[in-house]
Amino acid sequence: MFRSIKTIILLLNGLTTVLGQFQGTYDLDSDYSHVRKEPKIRTKSGNKYQLDYCQKTFGVSLGGWLVLEPWIVPSLFEEVYEKTGEMPVDEYTYTKLLGKREAEKALEEHWSSFYTEEDFQDIVDHGINLVRIPIGYWAFGLLADDPYVQGQEYYLDQAIDWADKYNLQVQIDIHGMPGSQNGFDNSGKRTDPTWLNGGENMDLTYDVMDYFFNKYGGEEYEDIVTSIEVVNEPFAFILDKDDLREFYEYAYQCARDNGVKANLYFHDGFLPIGSWDRFMNDSSVYPNITIDHHLYEIFSEHQIALNIDQHIKNVEDQGAAMALQPHHRIVGEFSGAFTDCTKYINGVGMGARYDGTFSNTKPVGSCKNHSDFDSWSEEFKNNTKEFIKAQFETFEKNGDGWIFWCFKTEDSIEWDFKRLASLDMLPESFLDRKKCHNLKTIQRLNDTEKNGTTIEKTSDGSSSIDRTILKFHQSFQLPKIIYIGVISLILLILAAIP
């Protein structure tokens, strides 16, 4: 008799635990909504949009891959110097100095090796849910005198396939425009920016935008390419802001005419936060617009002279200003750097403000051995970690998330997400967000079961286990009255046992 009572108690305990876990509809939104294919559910607080934690963007940029930048891949530029005796300063001069044939060979080797499928698996394993992929206009069309080589589009398409396989969202970022939108080497050409001056620059821009939206904004990529940056870092202090505004209006209309449903990112042009508050701010008329801020603390002599507390105060003030914006907003670029010691970060031949080698600046400290982590003082290491933590938490709290620039480099530290992670420089608060990935496979299986299709094995190899869990979960989607009947029957049978 005692054994029967004990059995009844154990059964009741187990059944009530199961019922408590599986009763009602299994709602994955709170743990799983960052995964693409699921719409981001946004709630309004006053006139400001907010996202739940797991719905926010935690991204990395794949800088230096399909658009060359000297500080990310210095070896490529230095190899050209060794061959030609002249140092290229951007991708334009890189290809011009090498010539088409040599440039094609060198860049094919770079494109095929700098990022591979293994990197995408690695990115997911780091808790990232979006990759931002910069690409230049020259991948899709050329000006008459352009020395650029093409072939980047194949690797962009391959990257999108990898992202699809590992369930990453993709943002495609048009990083360089004809004539340059900012004059920086990251636009492809370090020069006086003439992008919005009309003529062939704008003719090619319109052709590229139409092709780009038609291809990557179509149904084939609808659930993968979830956002598009229509132009990276247009320098509004040099360009005419009214012309930039008109381009954004054109880009929006072009996207909608092509049926693009992806979120459109409009960079703030380096204008103060809030400068675009009156622009396309009615989401009922202009849905899916995000204002993109790129926030760095190193590109002025004033910033370089600040101490760590002042840097963090700047970050917090920026976050407070972002919280007041009527648009969706994100910090689409930032890094762990509060010095400009990374080689070529200001451009080839420009030096650094931190050590006074940049023109007309006073030194703050030394950049010697800066790429050697072991040479960093404990204070510098701790300050860097605190600076990264402040940015992660502030940008996440006051916007739709963040995108770190960039995932990896050849030898930088503060700009290299992968290296920072390996050196234990990322905050615990970010590492904790990996819980958002726990139900990834179950959600995909849920979608698959609804569609009556099969599913490929997931990247973690756990599809068979998760399918078992899913079917177990589905078997409990029954009215509670059935549970009560089953329990009552079991109790009656057990009670009858002598």
Q: For residue 269, count CB atoms less than 10 angstroms from its CB and return exposed for 0-12, middle for 13-18, buried for 19 or more.
A: buried
Token duo for residue 96: 């011009």
Task: Give the whole-angstrom CA distance, residue 137 versus residue 174.
Answer: 7
In DSSP terms, 131 is beta-bridged to 60, 170
Tell me how crowded residue 423 is: count the other CB atoms within 10 A of its CB: 15
DSSP 195-258: GGG-THHHHHHHHHHHHHHHHHTSGGGTTTEEEEESSS---TTTS-HHHHHHHHHHHHHHHHHT
d(CA 127, CA 115): 18
Q: Which residue bears the tokens 């042009």?
A: 269
Cβ neighbours of residue 151 under 8 Å, at least 6 residues apart? 104, 107, 108, 111, 139
Residue type, 127: G
CB neighbour class for 445 (10 Å; exposed up to 12, middle 13-18, buried from 19): buried
The torsion defined by the Cα of 323, 328, 331 and 333, in degrees rounded to 10, comes to: -160
| 403: helix, strand or coil | strand
Q: State the catalytic residue, choosing from 69, 229, 233, 297.
A: 233
Task: Tell which residue, 154, 137, 236, 228, has the closest CA to residue 189.
Answer: 137
Active site residue 233: yes
Q: Is 99 left (phi over 0), alpha (psi -120 to 50) or beta?
A: left
Q: Please identify which residue in the block is written with the tokens 């400009």.
A: 340
Burial pattern 398-414, b for ≥16 Cβ within 10 A else e, equals bbbbbbbbbbbbebbbb
Query: Helix or strand or coil: residue 61?
Result: strand
Whether the CB-CB separation of 173 and 229 falls below 8 Å is answered with yes
The one catalytic residue in 69, 297, 333, 396 is 333
Question: Nearest to residue 58, comparing CAs of 392, 489, 445, 491?
Answer: 392
What token pair was written down for 490?
A: 């079991």
Q: Which residue has the tokens 């370089």?
A: 304
Query: Taking the C-alpha atoms of 44, 258, 174 and 292 in order, what is their torsion angle to the nearest 10 degrees?
Result: -10
If one counts every other C-beta atom within 10 angstroms of the C-beta of residue 341, the result is 24
449 annotated active-site = no
CA 184 to mean position of chain CA atoms:
21
Q: Which residues are catalytic?
A: 233, 333
